[in-house]
Amino acid sequence: MTTIKPPQNIVLSFVVPCLNESLCLEGVLIDCHHGGDLAEVPYEVIVADNGSTDGSQSIALENGARLIEVAERGYGAALLAGIQSAQGQYVIMGDADRTYNFKDASLFLEQLALGADLVMGNRFLGRIEAGAMPFMHRWVGNPVLSGFGRLLFGISVGDFHCGLRAFKKEAIDLLFLKSSGMEFASEMVIKASLRDLKLVEVPTSLSLDHPERTPHLRTWRDGWRHLKFMLSFSPKYSFLLFACFLFLVSVISLLSFASDLSPANGPNTLIVSIFALFSGLFVFSDYLTTRAMFAETYGRPSIFASWMRKYVLRGAKGVDTIYQVSAISFLVGLIVFTFSFASFFNSNPSSRIENVMTYLVCFAWSASLACYLTAAKISTIRSLRS
């Protein structure tokens, strides 16, 4: 619900998510107005309220903010509603706990005017007041998650989860952000990187929270949500490496069994090998499916992804190729099975050779099934998106 009509020709929108922030909200809004005045552009201040029960709504209205009431709970849900309601060309978002300095708005706007699409605050390049960032957040959580961001996505951002950031509204609208929780911060950076938006960092400060305020951030719960989101957008690390590990286990177990290397030379070794093979094939199938979705949505190439798109996922022909591999694998398995079955009656092979032949049949037919499922899933995805 909008209660204040914004000025015309807005350039800058401040968006502040709010849930029971009566202790700090007035100071935050004063800082926003100060930052807007220093930037010397028409601006608006939006408070996206998440159902406060402490009078935060009245404080917002009394301090010249436009109030947006958001029924869905969550940090991301509040920000999404606020961003969608923003009328400015540029948006600056930040928390309502007065730990961020909105008066630095002009520093962020300067980078946006120079061509950046997303400007991140970096608290480590700026100033962090003593006690403002808990030890676990400063020395474990933030470095680990920022490191994962660099490893998984090649994002050269030193403070992955700084809450103070500015962006071009038209650029962020193209990301179709959806997360309703704290992982919204990760989603914005990751999708911006996948879309090849220009990311820039500027130094910013972090001040002490109000001593009587209860933080909304839950270290382990929200840290896991960030990490889970990162892995869900990185099929290379969440699927491909795991599949390769399973294939390696399968091959080593098979060689150990075939070579009669003690103690890994019994039937259980072959069972482990077959299980690892099955698991690896189906994990790899999911990798191909996920890779297909990412290729069509983002099209950001790596060497392997480019090869995949060119030779494996190349439209209908690529799917047909996967179906053909499925059929060939099935026929190979059938031939090996027939040969093994005939040998059993004619030459009475050793049990070890017989077991290896059985493994090869399982391998061929498992590959056939995995290829079939992969092609079917990719076809379904493309049909739903067409």
* Most confident by average pLDDT, 209-223, 274-288, 297-311: 274-288
Which residues have C-beta within 8 Å of that of residue 358, sequence separation ≥ 6? 340
Output DSSP code: residue 208.
P
108 or 182: which carries more pLDDT confidence?
Answer: 108
Q: What is the pLDDT of residue 1?
A: 46
| Contact of 191 with 177, CB cutoff 8 Å | yes
Q: Is residue 204 a contact partner of residue 126, using CB atoms and an 8 Å limit?
A: yes
Contact, 16 vs 52, CB < 8 A? no
Pick from 184-188, 237-241, 288-292 the range whose average pLDDT is largest.
184-188
Q: How far is CA 273 from CA 134, 191, 355, in A?
A: 46, 38, 12
pLDDT, residue 372, reads 82
| Gap between the Cα atoms of 188 and 93, Å rounded | 12
pLDDT at residue 2, rounded to an integer: 47
- For residues 94 and 35, is the Cβ–Cβ distance under 8 A? no
**Residue 77 pLDDT level (bands cut at 50, 70, 90):** very high
Please provide the DSSP assignment of 323-343 as one string: HHHHHHHHHHHHHHHHHHHHH
pLDDT digits (tens, 9 = 90+) for 245-275: 988 988 898 888 878 777 766 777 878 888 8
pLDDT at residue number 236 = 73
Residue 7: band (very low, low, confident or very high) from pLDDT cuts 50, 70, 90: low
Average pLDDT over residues 130-157: 82
Looking at residue 4, its pLDDT comes to 54
Nearest 5°: phi and psi at 293? -65, -45
Share of the chain above pLDDT 90, in %: 38
pLDDT in tens, 116-133: 999 999 999 999 988 888
Decide: 30 and 1 in contact? Cβ < 8 Å. no
Q: How far is CA 126 from CA 95, 137, 159, 203, 267, in A?
A: 17, 16, 11, 4, 61
Q: What is the band of 304 on the pLDDT scale with cuts at 50, 70, 90? A: low
- First-to-last alpha carbon distance for the chain, in angstroms, is 36
44 band by pLDDT with thresholds 50, 70 and 90: very high
372, 289 in Cβ contact below 8 A?
no
Mean of the pLDDT values across residues 306-328?
A: 72
Q: How confident is the model at residue 300 (pLDDT cuts 50, 70, 90)?
A: low
Q: What is the pLDDT of residue 345?
A: 64
Quick one: pLDDT at residue 216? Answer: 67
Please count the other Cβ atoms lying within 10 Å of the Cβ belonging to residue 100: 25
CB 73 within 8 A of CB 50: yes
Query: How many whole angstroms separate alpha carbon 208 and alpha carbon 274?
Result: 57
Reading the block at residue 232, the tokens are: 């869900």
The more confidently predicted of residues 53 and 242 is 53
Name which CATH class applies to 12-232: alpha beta
pTM here is 0.71
Handedness of CA 245, 249, 254, 255 (dihedral sign): positive
Q: Rounded mean pLDDT of the chain?
A: 84
Higher pLDDT, 337 or 314: 337
Would you kindly state where each structural domain of the chain is located, as residue ranges?
A: 12-232, 235-385
- Which tokens hold the place of 93? 């978002």
